[in-house]
Amino acid sequence: MSITYKDEHGVEAMRTACRLASEVLDALTPHIQPGITTNEIDRLAAEVMKSQDSISATLGYQPPGYRAYPKSLCTSVNHVVCHGIPNDKPLKKGDIVNVDVTVIKDGWYGDTSRMFMVGDVSIAAKRLCAVTFEAMWHGILQVRPGARLGDVGFAIQKFAENQGYSVVREFCGHGIGQRFHEEPQVLHYGRPGTLDELKPGMTFTIEPMINAGRREVKDGPEKDGWTIVTKDHSLSAQWEHTVLVTPSGFEVLTLSAGSPPPPEFAQQALVASAAGVAQTQASTAATASA
């Protein structure tokens, strides 16, 4: 499978699908409180998707060698690294949970996830969530034409490890468009100047999974074929955005009104990227009307 490069129509379709995925998380945010079950979070998400006229990409998703995923999203609590299946266990004060949403709108996929802190959580849990969020943004800021995917992974790994955390290596980001998982694979560790060159029109996820303890992971005790946990039972966190490579830099497609604001160090680059997108759109519109 080769990398796909989105044209103007594809970019617009991706913007819509990605915004809708983020808006599902916006709608869920006030409900993620002590006492709610992850099954209830899943039910609420399905209702939001129905109101958007979008559908879940995870419900029934079945890659080779796996059983069909049974829910509309993934909920990974505390030491669950990824792919946690919603269930009837209530969330309790002090839990942290990653909610991972992928929607399909008009054949295009939008993929994003956020960490949620349930009630008052420990200082250690807060710091892990914050550092993981910042690590994702350090990776995003490397995205520009001519950069390499190794630059993205190196920036994430260097920041996370300097903070005393470890980076999960068994799972990575991925290209996305009219398929859930496309090329390239986006590693969250690596060496600068290596791997695929970034070119305008590429869309992919950046979704580092950062552990408070060691990086090793294993199958969860549920033996459901999906749930992955930290081998040492330490806390794990993950954030995810879908990113477009633009002619002048990057555009984060999975931003919505309720998205957590980028860290201060990313604000200037985000403003510059928005200006570049606006300039490209104006130039395209002028060409079309000529």
Examine residue 184 and say whether the peptide bond preceding it is cis (omega within 30 degrees of 0). Answer: yes
Q: Give pLDDT tens digits for 238-272.
A: 999 999 999 999 999 999 999 999 999 998 888 88
Residue 251 maps to a domain: yes
**Could you read off the pLDDT of 153-183 as tens digits, one per residue?**
999 999 999 999 999 999 999 999 999 999 9
DSSP 3-state assignment of 140? helix
pTM recorded for the entire structure = 0.94
Q: Which residues contact 197 (CB under 8 A, 6 or more apart)?
A: 146, 147, 148
Average pLDDT over residues 120-129: 98
Does the pLDDT value for residue 284 go beyond 80? no
Q: In this structure, what DSSP letter does residue 217 have?
A: E
Question: For residue 61, what is the domain's CATH number?
Answer: 3.90.230.10
Q: Predicted confidence band at 283 (pLDDT cuts at 50, 70, 90)?
A: low
Q: How far is CA 80 from CA 8, 21, 206, 210, 263, in A?
A: 38, 22, 19, 11, 25
Query: Which two tokens mark 106?
Result: 């008009």
Give residue 245's region: left, alpha or beta (phi > 0; psi -120 to 50).
beta
* Helix 123-140 vs helix 149-162: crossing angle, to nearest 10: 160
Residue 41 lies in a domain: yes
Q: Is 3 a domain residue?
A: no
- Tell me how many degrees the CA angle 27-28-33 measures, rounded to the nearest 5: 140
pLDDT at position 192:
97
Cα distances from 229 to residues 34, 99, 106, 168, in angstroms, run 22, 15, 34, 11
Q: How many domains does the chain have?
A: 1
Counted residue by residue, the chain has a size of 290
Confidence (pLDDT) at 274: 76
Three-state SS at 97: strand
Residue numbers of the domain that contains 171: 8-289
